[in-house]
Structure 1
Amino acid sequence: MTEVTPEGIPAPEGAVEQIQTDYEIGQDNFEGNLGRIAFDIHNPVFAISGAAVVAFVFYTLALPDQAGAVFSWLFSTVTQKFDWFFVTAANIFVLFCLFLIVSPLGRVRLGGADATADYSYLGWFAMLFAAGMGIGLMFYGVSEPLTHFSTALGGTSVEEGARTDWAPLGAAAGDTEAAIRLGMAATIFHWGLHPWGIYAIVGLSLALFSYNKGLPLTIRSAFYPIFGERVWGWTGHVIDIIAVFATLFGLATSLGFGATQANAGLNALFGVPVGATTEVLLITAITAVALVSVTRGLDGGVKILSEINMGLAALLLVFVLLVGPTVAILSTFGSSLLAYLEFLPALSNPVGREDANFVQGWTAFYWAWWISWSPFVGMFIARVSRGRTVREFVTCVLLIPSLVCVLWMSVFGGVAIQQVVQDGYTAAQDADLPVQLFEMLAALPLAQITSFIGIVLVIVFFVTSSDSGSLVIDTITAGGKIDAPVPQRVFWCVFEGAVAIVLLLSAGGLESLQSMVISTGLPFTIVLLIMCYAIFKGLRSEPKS
């Protein structure tokens, strides 16, 4: 275990061992005699988090209408009053990542100067994408480009039924080419540098303070340079509890989207009824599959499923690219990147915005969603990123995935838009969001097969999100241990599904999921801003490789 260096993070000789000893004092270790059940619980993080989640589930089930009203109020209040805060914070994260890439601090190697990578690039990227944005890309890959294109063209927002004023961005109503460029730029804005910058901040902080400083792999460890020994007391408990709540509701939102889209696909292919009952059954069944994966651990479950899913996703992407208007799609990829760079300053502007529906209903929600996912994705990619330099880590996490997201949106969204513009095919444009992917595929060859692959992708992304999320929450509540007993992973896996179910059953449905993710994302945004300073302070104390 590497000693914490005195520069930047004061720690006398033997401090790491003492920290570990003090840390374990706060843990309750007990074993039951029923079926070899064992627990290794960091008290009080597990107790408070677990009790709060159980109480939340029962409250939402008992009073769904009242809970739905509360969730709706939370969403409108946070998005309307704090949209500027989310936009500003996301900008800071991106700028800080770019600074790390070009600064001498980028030469620091995670795990020490002699550390080597645990996974190949292929395996690393597969786990990164499957855990990071899989369900979101499937859900929004067609619907978001279509929605922004329609709105920019002079139509209405599919979700809100209200006009969005795009005038500040220079779009003219009725100009098809301008609408395509702006629609793709707005989509890429939500899937490019900003979300991956958020993930990179959390992943880098966890990897640095765990592998280089010898601290437990948990969120509180990143704050040791600032709070010192207090991170092992209530200061750290609060940080970890906020991280658990943010992660849990971020995952529940994705699981809810996945269930509604899988239901829509099964209805289109096999006539399975669309409704809450089917969605609950889907979440229950897929959670059961995730339980099998989560008991097998990272290499035996998550890694295998991630690689299978990425293979299927690549197959579907290539198929749509080849059978669709290939030249137009490739042209869209290039023009979309240029449009993204052109409109990035305006889209990133946190003040004086006239497009309230866009910045509040889309951007603020997205940034809160990504921030809520960041403990989950950040810890997950930290666990598989030992041996990378900071520059390599940030570049790969920030830039390369952004380009892949641009390609995905350009292919799926580009085909859907071309179907409207060139062929007059508006079935996808007119459909509800969960159905739009399948309506787009219906107009292409082998629609039954590709739609079935789409359903499989949604389900497996669902499983990988659930099981890897359970591993991460379990690590946080077990005090940073990555080998906590299996029953704890099972507990969190079950209650992730339970939270998604009760939120879907509440009066607000998907809106309730969005409300909770943005509410928990707000306090964790503050945590991430402080984390940037902790990373800078920690990196300054490290030898450069």
Structure 2
Amino acid sequence: MDDHDSLLTSGQDNKQMMGMDFHLPVFPLSAAAILAFLIYALIYPDMANAQLGLAKSWSIEHFDWLFMISGNVFVIFCLVLIALPVGRIRLGGPTAKPEYSRMSWFAMLFAAGMGIGLMFWSVAEPVAYYTDWYGTPLNAPARTPEGASAAMGATMFHWGLHPWAIYAVVGLSLAFFAYNRGLPLTLRSAFYPILGKYTRGWAGHIIDILAVLATVFGLATSLGFGASQAAGGLAYLFNVPNTLGTQLAIIIVVSVLTLISVWRGIDGGVKLFSNINMFIAALLLVFVIAVAPTMTVLAGIGTTAMAYVTNILPLSNWIGRDDATWYHGWTIFYWAWWISWSPFVGMFIARVSKGRTVREFLIAVLVIPTLVTLVWMSTFGGLALYQVTNNIGKLAGGIDDVSLAMFHMLEQLPLSGVTSFLAIVLVLVFFITSSDSGSLVIDNITAGGKTDTPRGQRVFWATMQGSIAGVLLYGGGTTAMSALQAGAVATGLPFTVVLLLMCASLYMGLHRELYGPKTSTRAAQPL
């Protein structure tokens, strides 16, 4: 790193207080904004939901073109980087070694990225599209072979290359500037080639604060709604009343396990639970393939892949769409949601990716998860559509309750009680890994990029996530949770511009690393 770059790492020191090590002004302003939102949502839940819902709808309806164009840009940008000579750059320098095995590395990034969503939407989403629950993709006729192809192709579109490209842009940017340029592991560092010394000032503060809010609100939303879904599964299997008390009990249990995981650190916490996740998920996947009409499921993988390839271009189009209701309600919502989650997932992926080459990083983060998702969606979604078309079970009537779709599908297979219980366990463990990795990310940002903060500080943020979800669910119910979700999605609009700038900044940094003056890495200091 040259003397000019060193300006960034010689910023103001962190504040040590009550066993905490936090960065000014990111930590106090983030905490104040979170507290202000809690008070507002609890006192005026209907007003908060209405106002933030309008902000979400306005963002989606008026900037659908920006979301769609940006999503396409991110995919193309990542694929181009894989092919370019910059792909051979190693994160951390030529002699850097990976800290985790490929299997553990992949398990962690996948569990943090979207594992929980696959549990619910792998069944519910294709069935919803096929039965015209809320419109059909590309106006394909419902309950027809064309509708089935469009349903599986659209499902893969939402969970394949595009979301992972969003995560890859953020993750690679943060990893490169932290490990190769010696900058702190925080969002603002990715913009140093563009902002220069101003990254230390309010421009950088605002970027980090927005990242904290998006992460906290996104995780709390998932935990709150996920508790409702898990409670629905328990009611379905064991007749446990799906009440507010049950949902709060689930949040408490998940939060306690998250605290234990956070206390144990990445190796003893996220890594352990992520490996457990992958084992249970693989077990469930293999079992379903074995007991279902196996040839139908296996053939469905090729059919889904073909549907994805056939429909990816028309689904990526933003001009003259005839399926506007479906397009805005599903695709643009998803894009805004993935982008709002990108600071959290991207930073966590960066945290565990030192020692990988740019090419290896992008293939692992972009291509491999898409292939795994293809197999998963083809198995569960394809089997669900098989049940619908053959009038088997409750799914034949369409989607009644999204949280129960997976259980309705498993009900028609042998040992449904065991597999449904495994599905609930998998959901809860995915919650733990997401909450744990999110706590580590928030801690990084609010500590100015430090990764060796006191354990109590990580515990504080893990507690905050569970508390926010529990308090909002208890005080404002689903209305307050919907307001929180709308707020998280609305942050996707400004972050879309942030990510586009990040692409430019990353390319500038990679080009300079490969063709410019030689640089050296050193330990980063907080901004």
SS, match of residue 295 in structure 1: helix
Q: CA deviation at 1:445?
A: 0.5
Using the alignment, how far apart are the partners of 1:390 and 1:265 within structure 2?
A: 41
- 1:35 alignment partner in structure 2: none
Q: Which amino acid is the alignment partner of residue 502 of structure 2? A: M
1:519 aligns with 2:508: no
Could you tell me whether the CA contact under 8 Å between 1:261 and 1:458 is conserved in 2?
no
- 1:536 alignment partner in structure 2: 507
- 1:478 alignment partner in structure 2: 447
Q: Which amino acid is the alignment partner of residue 138 of structure 2? A: W
Using the alignment, how far apart are the partners of 2:392 and 2:100 within structure 1?
A: 47
Spell out the pairing of 1:81-100 with structure 2 (5 A cutoff).
Answer: 81-100=62-81
Q: CA deviation at 1:177?
A: 1.6
Q: 1:22 aligns with which of 11, 23, 32?
A: 11
- 1:39 alignment partner in structure 2: 20
Could you tell me whether the CA contact under 8 Å between 2:41 and 2:480 is conserved in 1?
no
The alignment's TM-score, normalised by the length of structure 2, stands at 0.94
Could you tell me whether the CA contact under 8 Å between 1:365 and 1:514 is conserved in 2?
no
Q: Which amino acid is the alignment partner of residue 514 of structure 1? A: Q
Spell out the pairing of 1:242-391 with structure 2 (5 A cutoff).
Answer: 242-391=210-359
SS, match of residue 543 in structure 1: helix
CA deviation string 1:6-43 (max 9, x = no partner): xxxxx44xx53x5333242xx2123x3xxxxx111100
Q: Which amino acid is the alignment partner of residue 496 of structure 2? A: T
1:508 aligns with 2:479: yes
Using the alignment, how far apart are the partners of 2:479 and 2:319 within structure 1?
A: 30
Return 5+ residue gaps in structure 2 as ranges. Answer: 519-527
Spell out the pairing of 1:89-488 with structure 2 (5 A cutoff).
Answer: 89-151=70-132, 156-157=133-134, 163-164=135-136, 166-167=138-139, 171-174=140-143, 176-427=144-395, 429-488=398-457
Q: CA deviation at 1:452?
A: 0.6
**Please, which moves more after superposition, 103-112 or 470-479?**
103-112
Using the alignment, how far apart are the partners of 1:427 and 1:195 within structure 2?
A: 28
Using the alignment, how far apart are the partners of 1:302 and 1:409 within structure 2?
A: 25
Using the alignment, how far apart are the partners of 1:487 and 1:540 within structure 2?
A: 40
Using the alignment, how far apart are the partners of 1:314 and 1:510 within structure 2?
A: 32
Classify 1:543/1:447 alpha carbon distance in 2 versus 1 (closer, same or farther; 3 Å).
Answer: same
The alignment's TM-score, normalised by the length of structure 1, stands at 0.91
Q: Which amino acid is the alignment partner of residue 451 of structure 1? A: S
Using the alignment, how far apart are the partners of 1:430 and 1:21 within structure 2?
A: 56
1:492 aligns with 2:455: no
Q: Which amino acid is the alignment partner of residue 128 of structure 1? A: L
Return 5+ residue gaps in structure 1 as ranges. Answer: 5-10, 33-37, 158-162
- 2:521 alignment partner in structure 1: none
Q: CA deviation at 1:488?
A: 2.0
Q: CA deviation at 1:513?
A: 4.2
**Please, which moves more after superposition, 441-450 or 488-497?**
488-497
CA RMSD of aligned residues (A): 1.8
Q: How many matched pairs?
A: 513
- 2:522 alignment partner in structure 1: none
Using the alignment, how far apart are the partners of 2:481 and 2:330 within structure 1?
A: 14
Classify 1:542/1:51 alpha carbon distance in 2 versus 1 (closer, same or farther; 3 Å).
Answer: same
Using the alignment, how far apart are the partners of 1:409 and 1:95 within structure 2?
A: 23
SS, match of residue 99 in structure 2: coil
SS, match of residue 351 in structure 1: coil
Could you tell me whether the CA contact under 8 Å between 2:136 and 2:151 is conserved in 1?
no
Q: 2:46 aligns with which of 32, 42, 65?
A: 65
Using the alignment, how far apart are the partners of 1:165 and 1:294 within structure 2?
A: 41
Using the alignment, how far apart are the partners of 2:123 and 2:318 within structure 1?
A: 27
